[in-house]
Amino acid sequence: MNLALWLERAGRSHGTEPAVGLGDRVVRNYAELAGRAARLAGALRQRFGLQPGDRVAIAAHNSIDYLDVLYAIWHAGLAAVPANAKLHGAELGYILEHSQARLCFASSDIEAAIAAHAPPTLERLITIGSADYAALIQADAAAITPRQGDDLAWLFYTSGTTGRPKGAMLTHRVLYWASHAYAAEVDPVSPGDAILHAAPMSHGSGLYIMAHVMRLGVNVVPETGGFDPEEIFRLFARWPRASMFAAPTMIRRLLDCRADCDPAHIRTLIWGGAPMYVEDTLEALARFGPRLAQIYGQGESPMTISTLSKQAIAAREHPRWRERLASAGVPFACVDVMIADGQDRPLPADESGEILCRGDVVMPSYWRNPEASAATLKGGWLHTGDVGAFDSDGYLHLKDRSKDLIISGGSNIYPREIEEVLLKHPDVREASVIGRPDREWGEIVVAYVVGTAEATELDALCLGEIARFKRPKHYVFVPALPKNNYGKILKTELRELDARQRKPDGS
């Protein structure tokens, strides 16, 4: 059940079909992509002596080479560790150490940051696009290494409430089911259909690579390597029937862009990572037509807990249409989803509880973290930490997220990680971080601080230890934080206080 078999077979049976695009041009067909992956896999096995199951990290921005590396890792029977290129060097260093990755492929602009924090277990840091990388692509091709469904394919690092990321073990079977779920229930793919990778290939967008290879689609990377609304509209015109995965803030930026866009060229715009305002959904529907779909999932069940289909979003005639637009849709066919009370007992419709799910698309455990695995997968169910309820029609409504989680621009941010950094300053006695609602980003990070430190000092401290997107956008200095009788900070009261003190412009 090696995922690389889909590419290897496509290279033999449909070798001349387009496989990889850069901007508006095809740069590799399936024979070329499969050949590059097989040769790079040969280098990984023969030159570096890697053995099946060894981990290889990818800390890189979106590029066409990302596909070579990812499929070479699987072709060689290894496990990929894609890491967010926006992370701080220290954060990337932790992922490399914890995953015990032997090699890391990195973009040139973050190689130095990784090298400064690389653990002793990392044997080699390879710059994508360098002469060394080009030489590896010229190695002798390796035969594909057989893998079982339970073998690790993708170690997906997702933030945890302790502030340290946890590695969700996504096996070949998990990604097999996730790919079929996408193609069956979210965005059917036909040969030649494209997906635009404007969101990070290390996360949500990258998880849809396999479904497009499986169905002979084209994985397209924008020339900028990221998200520029005007470029995206040009690419939709170049690649008719193209889809794109986006965070809600990206959809909002598309709506704000006044460049010409013929929606007939768009196959599907899929959003996830955070809820989207109903008014924004209505505006997107008016501009782009019935080409919108939503997914709800977590790294532990990659993009596959529930989905709000294009048909449901476009069904204006349904009496509960607007209510459904505010939902997360219905469960995927490959998972059981339950709303449970504190004792994991199922709750009836319209009663709120924790969202639990189980199925072959759910991770088997966390990497090197038996305690978190036992707690999260208690009783065979993935405990999402999210609160929701089913309505009488079976649509899932998210009522709240994990108590402390902040989702900003589709990225998960856990306050404790930031609080621990702030508390390193000698003039900070207490700190509590919350999310403030923001129309553009969903939420922004706000830090409430007790102490005499300057905001500029705290900003510099954060920039030195955590990723830029995690640092607080505002610092509020207060004489004391609200607490209960046990001395626990009451973030609910803090959020209420923040709401009362906000200016009309949201600042």
Pair 274, 410: CB distance under 8 Å: yes
Question: In this structure, are 318 and 430 located in the same domain?
Answer: no
Pair 237, 24: CB distance under 8 Å: no
Question: In this structure, are 411 and 386 located in the same domain?
Answer: no
Structure pTM? Answer: 0.89
Is residue 150 domain-resident?
A: yes
Question: In this structure, are 367 and 454 located in the same domain?
Answer: no
Question: In this structure, are 105 and 226 located in the same domain?
Answer: yes
Is residue 308 domain-resident?
A: yes
Helix 64-75 to helix 30-46 angle (10° resolution) is: 60
Is residue 250 domain-resident?
A: yes
Question: In this structure, are 285 and 251 located in the same domain?
Answer: yes
Backbone angles phi, psi at 469, to 5 degrees: -70, -10
Q: Which contiguous run of DSSP H or E holds residue 158?
A: strand 152-158
Question: In this structure, are 375 and 258 located in the same domain?
Answer: yes
Pick the last residue of a domain from 347, 365, 390.
390
Q: What is the pLDDT along the chain (507 residues), one digit of tens a residue?
A: 999 999 999 999 999 999 999 999 999 999 999 999 999 999 999 999 999 999 999 999 999 999 999 999 999 999 999 999 999 999 999 999 999 999 999 999 999 999 999 999 999 999 999 999 999 999 999 999 999 999 999 999 986 444 689 999 999 999 999 999 999 999 999 999 999 999 999 999 999 999 999 999 999 999 999 999 999 999 999 999 999 999 888 998 999 999 999 999 999 999 997 778 888 899 999 999 999 999 999 999 999 999 999 999 999 999 999 999 999 999 999 999 999 999 999 999 999 889 999 999 999 999 999 999 999 999 999 999 888 899 999 999 987 666 678 889 988 787 888 998 999 999 998 999 999 999 889 999 999 999 999 999 999 999 999 999 999 999 999 999 998 755 678 888 999 999 998 766 566
Question: In this structure, are 458 and 368 located in the same domain?
Answer: no
CATH code of the domain in which 19 resides = 3.40.50.12780
Write the CB contacts of 319 (distance below 8 Å, at least 6 apart in sequence): none
Is residue 398 domain-resident?
A: no
Question: In this structure, are 242 and 143 located in the same domain?
Answer: yes
Pair 35, 241: CB distance under 8 Å: no
Question: In this structure, are 76 and 47 located in the same domain?
Answer: yes
Place of tokens 């412009």: 505
CA dist 245 and 410 (Å) reads 11
Question: In this structure, are 262 and 214 located in the same domain?
Answer: yes
- Domain span at residue 91 reads 4-390
Backbone angles phi, psi at 172, to 5 degrees: -60, -40
Is residue 396 domain-resident?
A: no
* Neighbouring-strand partners of residue 357: 337, 382
Tokens linked to 412: 């998960």
Helix 455-465 to helix 415-422 angle (10° resolution) is: 120
As for how many domains the chain has, the answer is 2
CATH code of the domain in which 485 resides = 3.30.300.30
Question: In this structure, are 447 and 381 located in the same domain?
Answer: no
